[in-house]
Amino acid sequence: MSSSLNIGIAGLGTVGSGVVDLLANNTDHINKRTGKFLKLTAISAKDKSKKRNMNINNFDWFDNPCDLAASKDIDVFVELIGGSDGIAKESVEIALKSGKHVVTANKALIANHGFELSKIAESNSIMLNFEASVAGGIPIIKLLKESLAANKINKIYGILNGTCNFILTQMEKTGKPFDEVLIEAQKLGYAESDPSFDIDGTDTAHKLAVLTALMMGNPPDFSSIQVEGIESISSEDITYSEKLGFCIKLLGIVLKKGGKFIQRVHPCMIPVTSSISRIDDVKNAIFVEGNFIGPLVLEGLGAGAGPTASAVVSDLIDISNGNFIPPFGCKLESENHTEKLDTDRFGPWYIRLEVIDQPGVLAEIAAELKNQSVSIESVLQRGRAPGECVSLIITTHETNEKKFKIAMEKIKKLNALTEPPCMIRIENF
C-alpha cells in the first residue's frame, strides 16, 4: 500500500458509528480492494462526553464539523450530520472548496443542493459521492452512474422508505390502525420521534429527486415532485385493498415519456401478484427499466447502521482507487432542459367515501364522476345503516387525473359526506 487516505467523519449517530465499526472490523478485507489504505483519523460530533462503543481518544476530535472539513490533515470529509441546510451544507461546501473529497449519506442535501455542490466538486477535480443517500445498502447510485450508463432509463419506481413500508405491512398483517403501528415503529427505532418526513413522503421524494437526476442527466429538482404521504391510509383501506386483490405501498415513481418526465410520490394500490408487493417491513425495492438492459429489480435493507455504512465505505473505496466519475454520472448543465409533467397520469383510482346512508347519494356521486368522463368500474358497500354513516368503496376505469380531481373536488362538497374522501391510485406495477 503506497499511502493512506485520511478520513474525517462528522456525525457519530447510527450511520457514523456503523462506519467506524465497519472500517475497524473489515480492515484487511477492505485494504485488498483499495489503492490507498483507508485511515480514519478525525471525528466530529455534538457531544464529546457521550458514551459510545468506541475509544474516541484514538482520533483527533473537532467540536465544529466545519473545522474538520477545513483540516489539512484529512483527504476525505464524510458528512453524516443530516439536514438540507445549516451546518451540514456549510461543512460540505468548506470541504469541497478546500479540495477535500466528500462522501455523504444526506439525501436532503443532495436533493436540494446537489447541482451547486457538484459544480464545486467538478471545478476542483474532486469527488462528491452519495451512494448511501438512497436505499441504504442497495447500490442503486453506482448502478445508474456506472453499470447502466450506456442505457436510456425510461422508468424507475420503488419502495424507498422503510418506515412507511413497515407501517403499511404491519397494518396489513395485524389489522391495527395507523397511529398504533406508528408508535410500535418508534419503539423499534424504525421511526423517528418526529416521523413527519417519513410518513408525509418527503424522505421518499428526496431520494426520488436524486434518482431522477441520475436517470435524466439533469440537476435534482425536488420542488417539482408531486408528493403525498400515508397519513390518510386507514386499516379499512388495507382491508378493502385485500378484497380487491391489491396491497398498498408508498412508491416513488419517475417515468420518462419522450422528452418529458413525471415525478411523483404517493401511496399506490398494486396487484398482490406484483413482485414489489411482497417487499415487506423495513425492506426497500427499486425497479429500473433501460432501453437495452430491460427491467431490473433490486431489493434489500434500505436503512440501518450496517447497510448504510456499507454504502459509505464503498464510496471511500472508489475514492482510494481514483474512480473519478462526475457526481451525477455526467457534467450537469445549468438549466434543466427536460420538460416536466405534473398531472399527466392516466390510470384507475380507488375511492373510499364515508357517507350518510340515504337514497340518491350514489347517484349524486356517479353524476359528478360522469360529468368529468370518469367511468366507474365497481362499487362496494358493506351492509346498510339508513341515516347513519357507511363506507362506500368505488374503483374507476383508467381516467385522466386532472378530470378525476375536478370531479372529486365537486364530490367533497356533497352534504352526504362526513369526512374527506380517501383516494389512492391503482398502478399495475
pLDDT (0 to 100) of residue 331: 87
Residue-level length of the chain: 429
Domain count, the chain: 3
Q: Are 61 and 48 in contact (CB under 8 A)?
A: yes
The Cα–Cα gap between 40 and 60 comes to 9
Answer with the one of 133, 148, 181 that is the final residue of a domain.
133
Q: What is the DSSP letter of 421?
A: P
Same domain, 260 and 154: yes
Distance (Å, whole) CA 96 – CA 131? 17
Residue finishing a domain among 133, 168, 191 = 133
Partners of 283 in the beta sheet?
A: 301
The residues that bridge with 290 in the sheet, in sequence order, are: 153, 294
Domain final residue, candidates 108, 133, 158 = 133
| pTM, 2 dp | 0.93
* 225 and 185 part of one domain: yes
Residue at 288 is within a domain: yes
Output b/e per residue, 243-271; b: 16+ Cβ within 10 A.
Answer: ebebbbbbbbbbbbeeeebbbbbbbbbbe
Q: What is the CATH number of the domain that holds 365?
A: 3.30.70.260
Q: Is there a domain that residue 162 lies in?
A: yes
* Through-space distance between the first and last CA atoms of the chain, rounded to whole angstroms: 48
Q: Is residue 320 part of a domain?
A: no
For 225, the enclosing helix (H) or strand (E) is none
CB-CB contact of 132 with 210 (8 Å): no
Which residues, 6 or more positions from 69, have their beta carbon under 8 angstroms from its beta carbon?
8, 10, 77, 91, 92, 94, 95, 98, 100
Residues 6+ apart with CB under 8 A from 51: none
What are the pLDDT digits (tens) for 8-27? Answer: 999 999 899 999 999 999 99
CA atoms within 13 A on the CB side of 144: 30
Task: Tell me, yes or no, whether 395 and 412 share the same domain.
Answer: yes
Q: Residue 96, SS3?
A: helix
According to DSSP, the β-strands at 260-271 and 226-227 are: parallel
Residue 282 lies in a domain: yes
Q: Is the domain of 153 the same as that of 126?
A: no
Q: Looking at the structure, do residues 176 and 280 belong to the same domain, yes or no?
A: yes
Listed as ranges, residues in the chain with pLDDT below 70 are 1-2, 334-343
- In a domain, residue 175? The reply is yes
The rounded Cα 122 to chain-centroid distance in angstroms is: 26
185 in the same domain as 87? no
> Where do the DSSP E strands lie in 302-428?
339-340, 346-347, 349-356, 376-381, 389-396, 399-400, 422-426
Q: Which three cell numbers stand for residue 103?
A: 462522501
C-alpha distances out from residue 394 to 163, 271, 382, 404, 426, Å: 28, 17, 12, 13, 12
Separation of alpha carbons 356 and 387, rounded Å: 6
In a domain, 350, yes or no: yes
C-alpha closest to that of 44 among 92, 85, 111 = 92
Query: Domain containing 184 — which CATH number?
Result: 3.30.360.10
Check whether residue 243 and residue 267 sit in a common domain.
yes
Same domain for 151 and 128: no
Residue 94: give its domain's CATH number.
3.40.50.720
Cβ(428)–Cβ(277) under 8 Å? Answer: no
Q: Are residues 108 and 155 in the same domain?
A: no
Same domain, 82 and 123: yes
Residue keyed to cell 474532486: 126
Q: How far apart are CA 280 and CA 301, in angstroms?
A: 11
Structural domain includes residue 316: no
Q: Answer yes or no: are the C-beta atoms of 273 and 246 closer than 8 Å.
A: no
Pairing label, strands 128-129, 260-271: unpaired
Grid coordinates in use for 324? 473519478
229 & 144 share domain: yes
Per-residue model confidence (pLDDT) at position 338:
56
53 and 126 part of one domain? yes
Angstrom distance (rounded) from CA 45 to CA 67: 12
Torsion over CA: 183, 188, 193, 197 (sign): negative
CB atoms < 10 A from the CB of 199, how many?
A: 21
Range of the structural domain that residue 399 is part of? 346-426
Closest among 18, 25, 16, 4 to 44, alpha carbons compared: 16
Tell me the C-alpha to C-alpha distance, in Å, between residue 426 and each of 102, 354, 360, 397, 423. Answer: 40, 20, 27, 10, 10
Instruction: Give catalytic residues, as residue numbers.
Output: 207
Cell numbers for 278, please give them: 411482497
Read off the amino acid at residue 98: S
